[in-house]
Structures are given as structure tokens and as C-alpha cells.
Structure 1
Amino acid sequence: MTTFTLGFAPTRRFVFSKEDAFKYKELIKDTMHGFGLDIKIVDLEGINEEGLLYDRSEEKEIIERFRFEQVDALFFPHCNFGTEDLVAKIAKALGKPVLIWGPRDEAPLENGMRLRDTQCGIFATGKVLRRFNVPFSYITNSAVDSKVFERGFKNFIGAANVVKQFTDMRILQVSTRPSDFWSVICNEGELLEKFGIQIHPITLDELKKKTLSVEKEGGADLKEAVEYIKNSLDWTAVEESDVRRIASLKVAMKQYAAETGSAAIAIQCWSTLQDIIGIMPCLANAILTDEQIPVTCETDIHGAITSLMVQAATLNTVPTFFADITIRHPENPNGELLFHCGNFPVSLSTEDKPELKKHFLFEDHSPGTHEGEIKGGAMTIARFDGDHGEYSIFLGKAKGIEGPYSRGSYVWVEVNDWPLWEEKLVKGPYIHHSTGIHADVIPVIYEACQYIPGLTPDPVDPTEKEIQAWLRGSDINQ
């Protein structure tokens, strides 16, 4: 994954204290670095002595610097009132997600004078950004060291990373959908026209040839994949030749993803593949997903899009898992089973060495699935989908619970109101496929949607009002 780059353009206005503006610029910069995010920050140092945005003659130079550095988002902290027209012009020229905020002012001086008036400037900038038709995010006026600022900043960076990866998305499609799976039909032309999402199709025969070539030629990548499988899983139920072929398939898919510039893969995982190379791809899918190349089953393009969005919301630090929403819990009315044949990331397993087995559904029982329960805890369940030209993303929070044993890879979860979830999923535009992740990314994706025209957030828990209140920091004493 490429590094996320933030354009940092702290702004001031000439009628307020430039000394205090400079002081707060430094405080904000130190605070951002202290958040521990793996991002690159491009500032204005060297453009003028203060490293602040206020001189209209420097507009072109600032835009050129940010373009040269290929910034992915822009942050305009108002270190005093700020220069709202410059903020809007630069934001409009670059067309990236925009964050505005200002540190909360101290009380007026004894003589009644005020040094910064940051909140007042945010109001002005918000209006001018609207005039320029620039969508933007903002954080409630708050102290530099406040939880409100930290929460809002991190949420914005995650949202901007979702936008970055969504607007430059290419998915490797391995064969057509299985003939029985009408539910995963997608409109490739519409995805390209509406969102710029590209699909790169290849055939199962092409994948077979590359897999067998990798297996024959060997090499460091294949050796590493074989060692990973042997060290991470109990593979006593399959042959060593099966391990080598599964590893070869994993390497072949990763090579195709790199060659085509694809960030995710949607594969026809059954039933032709086991006929032509003798294995199921479930474990190979799992390993790639653990490596931040999510692979979705049954050639589910919309599922791959979901997985990339959810993964990006964590700055690509947490793996996703691609699941069927299958049956209700036998005892818990709000419980549900998330399951797939054996494709959940190995790192999520509750066992030290989950079992590598032969597939339990098909008569040939080809090897390639890894089975077992994955860890519970808090997680987000999401699904990007659409029909009739309208697209939305379902969002809900869940937590892992105890439940009966199931074959395949699985986890039982509890949600706030299962009948409400079921109604949303059945009435659509969603299906039985979902993406899970062990992180709360709902506010991140909600915020990202305002920068993706044509995509509507569809949260079930928390509600839209609850998300908005959380983003404002209404639950924090400010």
C-alpha cells in the first residue's frame, strides 16, 4: 500500500496575533505526530518564514507543492481567524478531502482584546467552501490536547484513506460468477462510469497455468508460502503436494494482483477450480486477505469493494473477513452466524494451529479449506451494494458471542436488533454476503461517503444521528 500523505496548511489572518498563530501551529504539528499514525505530513515550511497560510501571493506555490507531493487530503487548522478565501481556493484546486478545525480560544486579555477568534474564522471558511462547492469535514472547536480533536483527526484520516483507495480502485476478477449466484450480479460499466472502479478479468485457465508454473519453477515466494502454511496450520489431513499447490495458487493470485495493479480479488471459488487443479482456493484467499489483498468468494465484486473500503478505514492495519450471513442463533434472538467454507484470515483464528482440511460440501472433497472459529470481540459488519443505479453501504456493529460448533470458518455474533437488520438486508439492495472487521469503522466510512458522490451510508447501529453526535464529540466534556 502507498503511504497516506496529508497536506498541512495552518492558516492565520493579519489582524490577529501572528505570534500566537505560530505557537499554535507548532503545538498542532507536535500533537499530530504524537497520534502515532503512519502518515506523511507535508507542511508549508520554506514557503514563508512562518509556515502559515495567509499571503495570497503564495497561493500558486502552495498548490504546486501539494500537487508535487501528491497529497491525499488537506488539513487547514485555523491558528487564528484564518484566511478563508485562500483555504477555499487551494481546496478547490486540489479536489481532495478537506478538514477544518481551530483550537479553542482562551479568555480575552485583561484589556478586552482577543488574540485568535478561531471559532469565528471556521464559520467564515465553512461558508466560502460551500460557495466553491467543496465538501469538507470539520472538528468541533476544542483544545489541542482534547479527545475531541484526536477523535476527529483520526476519523478524518481514515475517511480520507477510504476515499483515496475507493477512487483508485481496481479489482482482479477471476472468471465469471457461478451460474447459480444471481445475487452477485454487478454492473461493471456502471461501476466504472459512476465511481471510476475498474475490473480486470482473467480466466480460470489463465490462473491454472500461472499456478502450475509457480509450482514447477519454485522460488522464494513459493517457499515462504509453503513454510507459512506448515508453520501456521495443522495440515495432517492433506498431502504435502496439496500444501505446495495451495501455496502456488496463493503466489499466482498475488502475482496477478501486482501485475494488473489490483487491490482486491473476486474469484469463482467453486466448482470448476477444484476440477482443473485439484484444490479449493479458500486457504489461499485467507492468506492473501491477511496480507491486505482481500479475496471474495463467488466472484462477488461488490464484496471486494466493501472489503477494500473497510480495510482502508483502519489505514490497512486490520484484516477483514468475508462471510455469509447464515442462520439465527438457536437461543439468542439477536444472534447470528457469520460463516464461509474456510476463507477467514488465519490470524483471526482462536486456535494456535487451525486445521487445513478437505472441503466438506462437495463430493470430490478437494483440499484447501481451513476450518475453525475466529475470535469475537467488537466488530463492524458492512456491505456495499446497489441496483437500479443507486448504491449504498450497510453498516452495523456486532460483538462475538458463544454458539454451537459449525463446519468451515465461522463466528457467532450478537447485534442490537436482529429483526431490523434482517429487514434491511432482505429489502436490499443487499444480499447474504458481508465483510466483517474487528474495529469500529462506521463513523469513518460514514464520513468518507460525503466525498463519494452517488454512495449513501446506510447505518443500522449506530443510527445516523448517533454517528453525527459521536463525530461532534457530544459524549465528551468539552
Structure 2
Amino acid sequence: MINNMPQLKMGIVSVSRDCFPMTLSATRRQRVVEAYNAKYETQTGKIYECPTCVENEIHMRTALAQLKEAGCNALVVYLGNFGPETPETLLAKEFGGPVMFVAAAEETGSNLVQGRGDAYCGMLNASYNLKLRNIRAYIPEYPVGTADECADMIAEFAPLARAVIGLNSLKIISFGPRPQDFIACNAPIKQLYNLGVEIEENSELDLFESFKKHEGDERIPEIVKEMETELGEGNKKPQILPKLAQYELTLLDWVEAHRGSRDYVAIAGKCWPAFQTQFGFVPCYVNSRLTAKGIPVSCEVDIYGALSEFIGTVVSRDTVTLLDINNSVPEDLYDEDIKGKFPYELKDTFMGFHCGNTAAGKLSFCEMKYQMIMARSLPEECTQGTLEGDIVPGNVTLFRLQSTADAQLRAYVAQGEVLPVATRSFGAIGIFAVPQMGRFYRHVLIEKNYPHHAAVAFGHYAKTLFNLFRYLGVEDIGFNQPAGMLYKTENPF
């Protein structure tokens, strides 16, 4: 596995208002740390307990130095009592990484005099001061809790924090302009910079030159052997593997030579209209292999698709894919294989498809084939390189972070599943079911002008993604609203 994902080092700092006992906040912090490490150390590592309880600005600077020395890149500000408005928000401002605020619930009705902390009230003032200073901070849905409850809230913050850290050191490398008939994937790059993401746009000719220079690379046989092992009996086009290995090495070397000051990389690649005739293959399988290694590669120079894939990779810590929201499920197939067996109407279902860019580990079976759509107008020999098979059944999350034509950030997220139903079709493809998909398709995807590509994470991660998009400042976040909850554009009659 290539190291293309941030490693999280969480720290927690308790804060205390000067007219409240500091020991109350510090003792409560210790209980949170004990609860967190007991429940989540194996998942996210131990949380660093900062020994300084912040009561004033001097304490704040001391705590910052201790956090820095401990290598913390994400911070929990814990209101063990009411908390000092200025120092606690300056702490968030100067930390320089993702920050969450969480507050202590009162512990017992038998100690509501000296043992009362009023953090419920303090969270209100903290949120007001964060807004005054234009500081982004994550505040949970209900941010007041016991030690165990606060530990759970911090665990929910962890994948969000990883994503924010990753975006702040991400470079997206693209090759070529968007194909003429896929302008839908075109979007202004201004919002990438606003997110902290760098973008390097290259010519396809530069990539082709680099590919030619890798001809005869001594590492090619080793990569071919890896591919043969992965494909197994699905290796139906063995003659194309050396070229695919050459291309994989070209991309991996390009990443290392061009990451520059950034720690993480995603790629927006091109596969047509001239790629296959000049390179002699299609890059789908290589795209899937790099994505499985932790370097997401989008198709059709979809820059915001690559961005979304990277977010999904970091949040899920798993392989993702990028699919067309492609075609409806035929009514006869629905009647035969879905109706009465699964709790979905026909309009809740659709087929998610791409030519062959989904990793082998996310397919129920796979075969190396040629790109059937391209081969309708080109020689089959130059369209080889797709990885075909039905996508594994199970829970999925569809999502996308997108800039509009006028450079506004929008996002959507919807949870559903891939059904264990044979697709009877070609490509990397699955039958998806999302509750109220028909309405979501019309009033979010069409109404908000989203392109046809959706990032797909394998599991349910909508809660984290929704919170992440809010943290990033996205105001328009679409989701598949339940029946009875009307979209703004939905006709109530």
C-alpha cells in the first residue's frame, strides 16, 4: 500500500474559566482520555492528553507548544466547565489544523454546587466567538456529553479530521483538457485553492513522452507478474499487460517527480478520444490498480471527481471508485430479480457503470477485456485494458464535491446499497438501490446541474461526509430526502 493518506495524531486540551475550578475541567478531561483510549486506540491511536488546562492566553501558548512537540495534527478543545471564550477560540485559530469543540455534561444531581461546570452554557459562547473570528471548527450534533459520549464524538471527528489534513496537502495532477463531449466534468479550479488543494494541469503529449521513455523499463516484468496474480483466470488479454505495466510505472514515477511540496496526490486522467489510438490501449485497469493503492485516478479528466475519490479514500480508509450514474434498470429485470425480494421501487434503482476502472477487490468477478463502446468505431486491439465485472453487493455511499460554473461549492451525499443481482451487462457495473432515488435524481442531480460521475465509497459514510462538507463551508448539500420531505423545487401537487 502506497502511503498516500494522512496519519492522524489527535490531541485534547481542556479549558477552564477563571471563576470555575480548574480541577473540574482537568479531571473530566482525564476521564474522556481514558474512555477514548480504551475504546478507540486500536482504530485511531492514542489521543495525546495535553497537560496544560487553558485558562488564559499564556496557557494557550504553552498548550500549543506542547501539542506541537507531541506531533498533533488534529485538536479537541474540551470544555470541562464554562470555558474562557478568548483563549479557547485563539487556541483553535492558532493550532492550524482541524479542531472540534465538545463539552462536559453534568455528572450527578448530588453535586450541583461546587461540581457544576456550566459547559452547556459555555458552548454557546464558544460558537459565537468562533464565528466572530471566522474560525472553522467541528461541533457535533449534540456536543455535550459524559466521558464515554465525548469519546464517541471524538471518534466521529477522526475521519473528518483526516480528510481536512489530506486536502490541505493534496495535489491533483491532470492530463489534457476535458473531452469535447464531456464538458459536464469541466469546472473552475478556483475552489480547489479555497480548499487548500493544489492543481497541476499537464499536456497529454507530456504524458505520452514520459510513457515512451519508460519503454523497456526493467520493472515492467515485476508489475506484469502482479497483474497476472491479481487477474487470475480473468486474464483474457495477456498480450496487453506489458503496456499497461509501462503506463502504471509512468504514472507512479510522475507522481513522485511532481508531488512537489504536497504530501498526497490524486490524478485526473484521460482515456479518449486519442489516448487509445496513440498509447495502444485504454488505461482503465491501471486506474483501478492505482486507486486500490491509495492514489485515486478519475476518468475523463474529472478533477472534482478525483477530489471526491480522495476524500472517500481518506474517510473510509478503503478503495473507492468513480462511476457513471448510468442507466435505468429495465422493468422486466426489476420484476424478475428485485421486486418483492428487496424493499425498493423501480425508480429507487439504477445501474452504476464505468468501462473498467473499479478495482478487482471491489468486483464479484473480473475479466480483462476490451472497451466495447470504443470498439464500435475503433479497432478492438487499441481498446484493450478494461477490467469488467459486477460490483460487489453491500452498502455504498454516493457523493460528490463539485464547483459550479460560477465557482460555488456544492455537494451531495446519499446512502444505499449494491444489490446481489446479476447485471446482465458489460463494464464494471452494479445495480444500485437508493431510497427515493427517483426524486433525488430529479431534484438534486438534475436540478443542481451535477455531472454524471459519482464517487462511490463501499460502506455507509454519509454522516461523516455531510459533516465534512459543512466543515469545508459548503452551504448547499443535497441528499436523498425521505418521502414526505419536499425538495424546494418539488411540485407539492
Give TM class, smaller chain: 0.7 to 0.9
Q: Tell me the distance in 2 between the aligned counterparts of 1:215 and 1:37.
A: 42
**Who is 1:470 aligned against?**
none
Q: CA deviation at 1:270?
A: 1.8
Q: Tell me the distance in 2 between the aligned counterparts of 1:4 and 1:265.
A: 23
**Who is 1:379 aligned against?**
396
Q: Which sections of structure 2, spanning at least 5 residues, go unmatched? A: 335-345, 486-493
Q: Does 1:28 align with 2:32?
A: yes
Three-state SS of the structure 1 residue aligned to 2:9 is: strand
Task: Give deviations 1:133-165, integer Å, cap 9, x for gaps.
Answer: 32332243222223xx35432332222222223
Q: Tell me the distance in 2 between the aligned counterparts of 1:120 and 1:196.
A: 34
Q: Tell me the distance in 2 between the aligned counterparts of 1:151 and 1:3.
A: 19
The more displaced of 365-374 and 283-292 is 365-374
Q: CA deviation at 1:392?
A: 0.3
Q: CA deviation at 1:433?
A: 1.1
Asked whether the equivalents of residues 79 and 123 of structure 2 are also in contact (C-alpha less than 8 Å), the reply is yes
**Who is 2:411 aligned against?**
393
Q: Tell me the distance in 1 between the aligned counterparts of 2:106 and 2:301.
A: 54
- Read off the aligned partner of 2:472 and give its amino acid letter: I
Q: Tell me the distance in 1 between the aligned counterparts of 2:348 and 2:354.
A: 20
Asked whether the equivalents of residues 341 and 409 of structure 1 are also in contact (C-alpha less than 8 Å), the reply is yes
Asked whether the equivalents of residues 72 and 161 of structure 1 are also in contact (C-alpha less than 8 Å), the reply is no
Q: CA deviation at 1:372?
A: 0.3
**Who is 1:246 aligned against?**
244
Residues 38 and 213 of structure 1, relative CA distance in 2, 3 Å threshold: farther
CA-based RMSD of the aligned residues comes to 2.6
Asked whether the equivalents of residues 108 and 115 of structure 1 are also in contact (C-alpha less than 8 Å), the reply is no
Q: Tell me the distance in 2 between the aligned counterparts of 1:133 and 1:199.
A: 26
Q: Tell me the distance in 1 between the aligned counterparts of 2:136 and 2:196.
A: 19
**Who is 1:345 aligned against?**
359
Q: Tell me the distance in 2 between the aligned counterparts of 1:449 and 1:370.
A: 32
Q: Tell me the distance in 1 between the aligned counterparts of 2:401 and 2:95.
A: 27
Q: Tell me the distance in 2 between the aligned counterparts of 1:159 and 1:369.
A: 33
- Read off the aligned partner of 1:394 and give its amino acid letter: Y
**Who is 2:102 aligned against?**
101
Three-state SS of the structure 1 residue aligned to 2:216 is: helix
**Who is 2:265 aligned against?**
263
Task: Give deviations 1:21-62, integer Å, cap 9, x for gaps.
Answer: 3332222222333313335744423xxxxx322354232233
- The match for 2:146 among 134, 143, 147 is 143
Q: Does 1:294 align with 2:296?
A: yes
Residues 368 and 118 of structure 1, relative CA distance in 2, 3 Å threshold: same
**Who is 1:471 aligned against?**
none
Q: Does 1:305 align with 2:311?
A: no
Asked whether the equivalents of residues 4 and 40 of structure 1 are also in contact (C-alpha less than 8 Å), the reply is no
- Read off the aligned partner of 2:255 and give its amino acid letter: A
Q: Tell me the distance in 2 between the aligned counterparts of 1:37 and 1:462.
A: 33
Q: Tell me the distance in 1 between the aligned counterparts of 2:45 and 2:265.
A: 19
What does 1:422-441 correspond to in 2, within 5 Å? 422-423=441-442, 424-441=444-461
Q: CA deviation at 1:251?
A: 2.0
Asked whether the equivalents of residues 289 and 345 of structure 1 are also in contact (C-alpha less than 8 Å), the reply is yes
Residues 235 and 440 of structure 1, relative CA distance in 2, 3 Å threshold: closer
Q: CA deviation at 1:87?
A: 0.6
Q: Tell me the distance in 1 between the aligned counterparts of 2:111 and 2:205.
A: 79
**Who is 2:472 aligned against?**
452
What does 1:39-50 correspond to in 2, within 5 Å? 41-45=47-51
Runs of 4+ in 1 over 6 A off after TM superposition: none
Q: Does 1:284 align with 2:286?
A: yes
Residues 237 and 105 of structure 1, relative CA distance in 2, 3 Å threshold: same
- Read off the aligned partner of 1:103 and give its amino acid letter: A
- Read off the aligned partner of 2:14 and give its amino acid letter: P
- Read off the aligned partner of 1:419 and give its amino acid letter: G
**Who is 1:364 aligned against?**
379
Asked whether the equivalents of residues 440 and 479 of structure 2 are also in contact (C-alpha less than 8 Å), the reply is no
Residues 114 and 68 of structure 1, relative CA distance in 2, 3 Å threshold: closer
Three-state SS of the structure 1 residue aligned to 2:14 is: coil
Asked whether the equivalents of residues 8 and 44 of structure 1 are also in contact (C-alpha less than 8 Å), the reply is yes
Asked whether the equivalents of residues 329 and 403 of structure 1 are also in contact (C-alpha less than 8 Å), the reply is no
Q: Tell me the distance in 2 between the aligned counterparts of 1:287 and 1:446.
A: 28
**Who is 1:164 aligned against?**
165
Asked whether the equivalents of residues 73 and 96 of structure 1 are also in contact (C-alpha less than 8 Å), the reply is yes
- Read off the aligned partner of 2:188 and give its amino acid letter: N
**Who is 2:423 aligned against?**
404
Residues 462 and 218 of structure 1, relative CA distance in 2, 3 Å threshold: farther
Q: CA deviation at 1:197?
A: 3.4
**Who is 2:87 aligned against?**
86
**Who is 1:475 aligned against?**
none
